[in-house]
Amino acid sequence: MSGGVERLAAVGARVGESPLWLPERGVWLWLDLQGRRVHRFDPATGTDAVIAEGFAEDLACLARWTAEAVLLVSVRGFHRLTLADGRVSPLPCPIDLPEGTIFNDGKVDRQGALWIGSSDAGEAAPIGRLWRIAGGRVTEVAAGFTVSNGPAFSPDGRTAYFADTFGRRLLRFALDGSGRVEAQAVFAEVAAEAGYPDGMTVDRDGTLSVGHWDGARISRWTPDGRALPDLAMPARNVTALAFGGAGMRQAVVTTAILFPGQAAEETLPWNGDLLGFASDVPGLEEPALSPDWAG
């Protein structure tokens, strides 16, 4: 990756997350989880707008679905967000959340299945889980996480990556051709001074890029687990990144405001803003949900 980091939108989101490129429309969607807003950023005009807000609970993640709508997951439910007018409709929730847990990050794999993680609502106990939803069937992939983030998937769809955020670990899952898990292993450990691994993505070469909460960086890893130089970010809490734009070479990065105990720093001025930079290596479009993902 190369190119200087720029501030795309000065919005001061409480917890920006889940940047999602919509190639059919040429725009980005992203969330302010605790601000309870869905944003749309248009790279052609450089404008950012709130297209849905006023939710009764915090938000969790977005996923491509159809040309007309995306899946919006809140901390306790599933919803259909219509792109034309921002209308939000509730959907049946396929997972019975265990008491004390909430949905967090999620992505669609190369087979069109939804992977969704949960976290302890109080961020204290390792009671979070990771599920895969395909063809209406919910499979528990892993468990034992205080805060879950990711996942991301290799270009060939045979590897999934996942962040055990408070455990400061990146996990790797080997997948068969249908996306089912065959094996699990620790991919990398994250040093305390690097903060906490958060949202992630994979580029066309298979390099994994991970945003770091309280780390002011994006870490990068080769598919065999070798650490590449970090990318410094001008924000303390880097929550997620994704590829999109012309040639899939625009990287968009979400961030969060400073939280209690975090001091302001002159070198980290863009906390809570939407950031971007150009990438030498293009990314991959996020897959859309399979028509039968929910059964």
pTM over 0.85: yes
Q: Is residue 235 part of a domain?
A: yes
Q: What is the pLDDT along the chain (295 residues), one digit of tens a residue?
A: 445 999 999 999 999 999 999 999 999 999 999 999 999 999 999 999 999 999 999 999 999 999 999 999 999 999 999 999 999 999 999 999 999 999 999 999 999 999 999 999 999 999 999 999 999 999 999 999 999 999 999 999 999 999 999 999 999 999 999 999 999 999 999 999 999 999 999 999 999 999 999 999 999 999 999 999 999 999 999 999 999 999 999 999 999 999 999 999 999 999 999 999 999 999 999 999 999 999 9
Q: Is residue 285 part of a domain?
A: no
Q: Is residue 24 part of a domain?
A: yes
Total domains in the chain come to 1
3-state secondary structure 153-213: ECCCCCEEEEEECCCCEEEEEEECCCCCEEEEEEEEECCHHHCEEEEEEEECCCCEEEEEE
Write the CATH number for 194: 2.120.10.30
In the block, which residue shows the tokens 């890029």? 209
Q: Is residue 271 part of a domain?
A: yes
Q: Is residue 134 part of a domain?
A: yes
Q: Is residue 218 part of a domain?
A: yes
Q: Is residue 290 part of a domain?
A: no
Give the range of the structural domain holding residue 47, as residue numbers without chain letter: 6-278
